[in-house]
Each structure stands twice: as structure tokens, then as C-alpha cells.
Structure 1
Amino acid sequence: MARVLLVEDDHGIAILIGAILEDEGHRVVHVENVPENLDLLKSDPVDLIICDLANGLSVEDRWWPVLALREVLDDVPILVCTAHPMAVLDAAQIHSVAGLLPKPFGYDELVQRVQEILSGQTLYSG
């Protein structure tokens, strides 16, 4: 199955998401923050990035992990998790994310969205 990079600063949530994805046969690499040395990701590529957007930050600060990942892994789809999907919809399109996953989400929603993105269905593919 797929190799997934999970960017999530809440350790408990990361364990839960990781367990769900591993239960579905995916390999998960978890980081709390975008790694300082993003070049390491080039040598050990991933198929999908799941990135939590932090609340309470400015728009620029909220999106910096996505922008940093895009610089190194431009061709890897990014699924953004957010409690405010409508508030970030325009920015999601600007930053070419593959999908938005509204929080809170359940097992089935996560699995379905990951499967859709891995099969080529993105937020803007219609």
C-alpha cells in the first residue's frame, strides 16, 4: 500500500490516525513538525502527506508546513485536516492541496478520503 507522511503535533491524534492507516495496510511516518531537513524526504519518498492545520495562527503561519513541503515534494498529494474547512477553501486551492478533511472525522471518513486521493480523486478533479 502507500507510504504516508503524517504531520501532526498532537501525539494522541497521531497515534490514532497512524493506527487507522496501518490497519488499512499503509506505512506511516509521523513527524510533529515539518522536518528541518526536508531533503531527507527526497531520498525516502512518500505517496501521500496528511498535514494538520494549526488553529489560532495567521493564514501565513497556518500554511507554512504545506508551503515547505511543496518546495521539496511538489508532486506528492497533500490532505489537509482542519476544523474550519470553509475558511481555508480558497487557500487550499491556491496551495494545490489534494483534499480537505474536516475535523472531527471518523475512521471511515479518513480511510475514504485517503483512498480517493491515492486513486487520483482530488479536491479539484471534479
Structure 2
Amino acid sequence: MRTILVVDDEWAIAEVLEALLSDEGYRVIIANNGRQALDRMSEWPPDLIMLDFMMPIMDGKATLAALQENPRTAEIPVILMSSLPEETIAQRCTGYSVFLRKPFRIAAVLDVIEKALV
């Protein structure tokens, strides 16, 4: 069973993603910010990370940087999620595999996961 780490400070989004991905057969781990995500990864190494860009405590940009600095996590694919346009995000950070614009459709979520896990 593949594990997906969902990192989002919006509880409703994390809950919807957890329900959707669990129904699709994934183990889902939830974190509310980047710092919590890095802590959770030591217990449950994910196959994929769905990371919100704007969060308190440790945002998506700082989390991506921490992931890239660690050889154990540098190769984990990251789907970066934001309500901002991808052009804006791409100017601010790099290192993500796929971008997912919020609000998103369920079909789009499943499509980007399939692309990221190839």
C-alpha cells in the first residue's frame, strides 16, 4: 500500500483528500504544517507528498527546501497545491513535481497523483 502525506492547514481540504485517497487504496497521513510533516515522515515515510504552499509555522517553500536538503527525502515526489497561479508559485520556489491549483476537482487530484507516482 502506497503512503501519501497530505500537508495542509485547512482541515476541510485535508479531510476531503484523506477520504478520497483512502477510498482509492492509499494510506494517508495528515500534517497541518511543514514542521509537522517533517516529523511525521520519520514514522511513516511517504511515497508522495501533497503540500500546500501557504501555511503557518513552516510554509510550502520552506518545506520543499528542507526536503531537498535531506538525501532521504529529496527524491519523494511533491504535488504543490495553491490557490495562486502556478506562474506565481514557480517564481517563488522550485523542487515540486506537479502543481495542483485550488480549488480542485477530484478527477484532477487523481490525475496529478498518477503523474507524480510514475
TM-score, length-scaled by structure 2: 0.82
Q: 1:82 to 1:44 in 2, by over 3 A?
A: same
Partner of 1:96: 95
Distance 1:19 1:7 in 2: 14
Q: Is the 8 A contact 2:7 2:37 kept in 1?
A: no
Cα deviation code 1:61-81 (max 9, x no counterpart): 651122123333111011000
Q: 1:76 to 1:37 in 2, by over 3 A?
A: closer
Say whether 1:20 aligns with 2:20. Answer: yes
Partner of 2:6: 6
Say whether 1:111 aligns with 2:110. Answer: yes
Task: Specify the structure having the higher radius of gyration (Cα).
Answer: 1
Stretches of 4+ aligned residues off by more than 4 angstroms: none
Q: What secondary structure sits across from 1:38 in the alignment?
A: helix
Pairwise CA RMSD of aligned residues? Answer: 2.3
Shift of 1:31: 0.5
Q: Is the 8 A contact 2:83 2:103 kept in 1?
A: yes
Shift of 1:34: 2.0
Partner of 1:67: 65
Q: 1:116 to 1:78 in 2, by over 3 A?
A: same
Q: 1:99 to 1:33 in 2, by over 3 A?
A: same
Distance 1:109 1:117 in 2: 12
Q: What secondary structure sits across from 1:79 in the alignment?
A: strand
Q: Is the 8 A contact 1:6 1:14 kept in 2?
A: yes
Q: Which runs of 5+ in 1 are unaligned?
A: 120-126
Distance 1:78 1:9 in 2: 16
Q: How many residues align?
A: 113
Q: Which runs of 5+ in 2 are unaligned?
A: none
